[in-house]
Amino acid sequence: MARPAADDAPPICPLCGRPIPPGVPQSLHHLVPRLKGGKGGPTVLMHAICHREVHAALSEADLARAYATVEALRAHPRLARFAAWVARRPPGFTSRVPGRRRPRG
């Protein structure tokens, strides 16, 4: 899914692998949540829909403990299904994240 580097090539979302063209809703995801010690830590640029799904699927504690890398996020079952689904959509696709955020407990 890697794309050759070019000055005018849009960035690639690390979750779904689609380009993030200018004007498409996007956000920075802190790999370690800020509230869990990740302030000033590494971030990745994602589609806003992909970022919302990450936070709908995982708590801040889970993100800090077991999902602090792009590879770990992509390996999570719910996020893997989501990434496969959204990868078939155009880069500018947006939608609300369906269902409850995550199980209460």
Is residue 39 in some structural domain? yes
Q: Judge whether 21 lies within some domain.
A: no
Q: Which residues pair with 46 in a beta bridge?
A: 27
- Each residue of 88-105: pLDDT tens digit? 998 888 886 555 555 655
Cα distance between residue 34 and residue 60, in whole Å: 9
The verdict on residue 32 lying in a domain is: yes
Q: Is residue 100 part of a domain?
A: no
60 is a domain residue = yes
Structural domain containing residue 37? 26-86
Q: Write out pLDDT tens, residues 14-46.
A: 999 999 999 999 999 999 998 888 788 999 999
Global pTM value = 0.82
What is the model's pLDDT at position 38? Answer: 79
Give a yes or no: residue 97 inside a domain.
Answer: no
Residue 18, domain member (yes or no) = no
pLDDT tens across 47-81, in order?
Answer: 999 999 999 999 999 999 999 999 999 999 999 99
Whether 91 is covered by a domain: the verdict is no
Domain count, the chain: 1
What is the C-alpha to C-alpha distance for residues 18 and 27, in angstroms, rounded to an integer? Answer: 14
